[in-house]
Chains A and B, each alone.
Chain A
Amino acid sequence: MKMKAKTIIAGISSAICLALSGTLHAGTLNGAGATFPAPLYQQWISEYTKISGGVKINYQAVGSGAGLAQIRAKTVDFGASDEPLKKEELDKDGMIQFPMTMGAIVPVVNLPDIKPGELKLTGPVLAKIFMGQITVWNDPEVSKINEGLKLPDMKITVVHRADGSGTTWNFTNYLSKVSEDWSKKFGCAKEIAWIEGTVGGQKNAGVAAMVKRIKGAIGYVESAYAFESKMTYTQMQNKDGKFVQPDNDSFQAAAENADWKNAPGFYMVLTDQAGEKSWPIMASTYILIYKSQPDKEKIDSLLKYYTWCYDSGANLAKKLNYVPMPKNVVDLVKEAWQKNLTK
């Protein structure tokens, strides 16, 4: 008799727990994707949760490729990717994308005697390095643009992303624009056929770790990773021929020229922008959500969070060297929400 009563109580309580667990998860929004904005998203999430009133947000920085795969498989509520999708692709999947923030991709090097911001590089030289045509640091092409700087006779080790990366997409997009050779041989994609002898790191953090470890290495990372771990970043020559440092001024200048109004589905590539002060390798990072949102509570929570990020999160973005979306773009995004999301 006692055994039977215990079993019944156990059965009922587990059923209740099961039912509750469904509702307990109602306040959690799940997202996955790019490592490019991850430092910013993590900060935003941590600040927002303080005032969100119970809404939890969970962001996995797994890379743009994985994020895209997950949102397509509907295993997350929103995806994050640095590769802007064309409107036809978005329509096919039934999704919309909108830019959350803009950031810079910065080449980082491991040259012990060189200080951050000392080394100058141009687009064509950068492309040649990544193509394996320039193999040592004191190559005449590099020395020519760095007069007065003593470059060591050290082999250049190229570090790139091992996983499918939006950062790679934007970086190769830039290289395709400044080097026809690159454009023909490698193209622009989240994952390309890197030449032999290069090292692959997992995600932005992995590339940073590899560059820090290997003497003579060069890699490309989002600026937050370069600055936070005090890496040796380089100057770049922009479209107007001027060498610029990677800082908020050059990032802001690059973002200013973007014409968002005429971008279908917010498709925007910010590499090689004109302007004397512009940083040549900028990128926009996007959030992807489905047009059809049957769970009204969930989509309202999501949109409330994004609105907070645009308005209150702008200062945090600037502090981490990202460029927040200007007000007119935010208005365009909110319009797009109204027009496209069916609740």
Chain B
Amino acid sequence: MVKNGKKGGYPADNFFKGLTFLCALLIVVIMTTLFIQLFYQSVPTIRKFGLEFFWSKKWDPVNLEFGALSSIYGTIVTSVIAMLIAVPLSFVIALFLVEIAGPKVKAIVSQALDLLAAIPSIIYGMWGLFIFAPFMQDHVQSFLMKYLGFLPFFKGIPMGIGMLTSGLILALMILPFISAVMRDIFQMVPPVVKESAYGVGSTTWEVSYHVTMKYGLQGVLGAVFLGLGRAIGETMAITFVIGNGYTVSASLFDPANTIASTLASQFSEAVSQPIFKSTLMELGLVLFIVTFGIQVAAQWWLNRIRLSSGGGL
């Protein structure tokens, strides 16, 4: 085989190819060994509790009986709340940036979004505990209790902590990611189509609705998945405000737990007890699989969109 004019290729090229391939392979190897190790460490718990682990609320470190239900429930609820708030907001922000904003405004808002994404999650956690939670307790939660208290979601005592507060903080954290991806998707709409729409007399709203959104709707799903993947694993932002309650409660004001916050609070105590450690490993495994699955689904979906729109994301 003759490549680049020399038989077998130039040695420098081959070396470079080999080196970069090894680096890429390293990532795959690390992922696989991480998965295998998590699985291997979870075996004692899997053997002891089996499938019951997933619908048991128990968390008894003294008698060593554990259940993942409260952690899984809290993870799902906080992520759902975060998505319910962040997705519509991001959608609107992305639309604004692409369709309406002038270049200066667009630059400023884009920068602000990027900065929001760069804030370390522990800062969100601290802000949440000292500033946001009291605000939630004094104004938002009492207000919700007064007017919407008949709903099971808003019963209970307003303590400022709980799944609602955590969900809101998470929404703030994932907003920049989802907006950025959505903005890029909306920008992929062929200008020719938009211009023709304007040409036949459409208003900005009609163009946004009938052209941009229709084109972008599929890609939006990928952006949503990315945000979801981030929200599910977030630890430090919500460990302080989630309340560390091993319960499954309909009320969003009650203390709860997520998989990540359980791991963060309990790992130091678990190190000395093999079955406790194995339980946390299994929780970690669940989180790993779910996050991995979501990321894979998101990337595959976005790839499809990319290919069908002719590239350029």
Residues of chain A having any CB pair with chain B under 8 Å: 62-63, 65-66, 68-69, 72-73, 155, 157, 162-164, 186-187, 189-194, 196-202, 206, 209-210, 213-214, 216
Nearest B-chain residue to A214, judged by Cβ? B159
Q: A155-B157, A200-B244 are in contact. Are A62 and B61 (CB under 8 A)?
A: no
Q: Within B41-66, which residues are at the interface with A (CB < 8 Å)?
A: 58-63, 65
* 11 contacts across the A-B interface (CB closer than 8 A): A72-B272, A163-B266, A163-B269, A164-B268, A191-B62, A192-B60, A197-B245, A197-B247, A202-B239, A202-B244, A209-B129
Q: A163-B265, A199-B255 are in contact. Are A213 and B160 (CB under 8 A)?
A: yes
Chain B residues, CB < 8 A from A65 = 268-269, 271-272
Chain A residues, CB < 8 A from B60 = 192-193
In the complex, whether B246 has a CB less than 8 A from a CB of chain A is yes
In the complex, whether B137 has a CB less than 8 A from a CB of chain A is yes
Within 8 Å by CB of B134, from A68, A187, A206, A213, lies A213
A69 and B270 CA atoms in complex are apart in Å by: 9
How many residues on the B side are at the interface (Cβ–Cβ under 8 A)?
A: 31
In the complex, whether B133 has a CB less than 8 A from a CB of chain A is yes
A73 and B272 CA atoms in complex are apart in Å by: 11
> Min CB distance, A145 to chain B, in Å?
25
- Residue among B63, B137, B268 having the largest count of chain A Cβ atoms under 10 Å: B268
Chain A residues, CB < 8 A from B154 = none
Q: A196-B245, A200-B255 are in contact. Are A189 and B62 (CB under 8 A)?
A: yes
The majority secondary structure among interface residues of chain A is loop
A119 and B62 CA atoms in complex are apart in Å by: 31
Residues of chain B having any CB pair with chain A under 8 Å: 58-63, 65, 129, 133-134, 137, 157, 159-161, 239-240, 243-247, 249, 254-255, 265-266, 268-269, 271-272
Q: Is the CB of B265 within 8 A of A200?
A: yes
Nearest A-chain residue to B244, judged by Cβ? A200
- Residue among B58, B246, B249, B269 having the largest count of chain A Cβ atoms under 10 Å: B269
- Residue among A62, A155, A189, A200 having the largest count of chain B Cβ atoms under 10 Å: A200
> Min CB distance, A59 to chain B, in Å?
16
Chain B residues, CB < 8 A from A63 = 268
Q: Is the CB of A191 within 8 A of B239?
A: no
Chain B residues, CB < 8 A from A199 = 159, 161, 243-245, 255
A72 and B268 CA atoms in complex are apart in Å by: 11
A56 and B194 CA atoms in complex are apart in Å by: 66
Q: Is the CB of B244 within 8 A of A193?
A: no
Q: With contacts A63-B268, A163-B269, A197-B254 known, what are 5 further pairs, Cβ within 8 A?
A: A69-B271, A192-B62, A193-B65, A199-B255, A209-B129
Chain B residues, CB < 8 A from A196 = 245-247, 249
Chain B residues, CB < 8 A from A206 = 240
Q: A69-B271, A193-B60, A193-B62 are in contact. Are A200 and B245 (CB under 8 A)?
A: yes
Nearest B-chain residue to A187, judged by Cβ? B62
A186 and B63 CA atoms in complex are apart in Å by: 9
Chain A residues, CB < 8 A from B255 = 197-200
A197 and B162 CA atoms in complex are apart in Å by: 11
10 closest cross-chain pairs (CB), A and B = A200-B244, A164-B269, A66-B268, A193-B60, A162-B244, A65-B269, A69-B271, A191-B61, A65-B268, A162-B265
Nearest A-chain residue to B70, judged by Cβ? A196
A50 and B282 CA atoms in complex are apart in Å by: 47
> Min CB distance, B257 to chain A, in Å?
9
Chain A residues, CB < 8 A from B239 = 202
Q: Is the CB of B246 within 8 A of A189?
A: no
Chain B residues, CB < 8 A from A213 = 133-134, 137, 159-161
> Min CB distance, B244 to chain A, in Å?
3
> Min CB distance, B81 to chain A, in Å?
19
> Min CB distance, A180 to chain B, in Å?
16
Q: Is the CB of A69 within 8 A of B268?
A: yes
Nearest A-chain residue to B159, judged by Cβ? A214
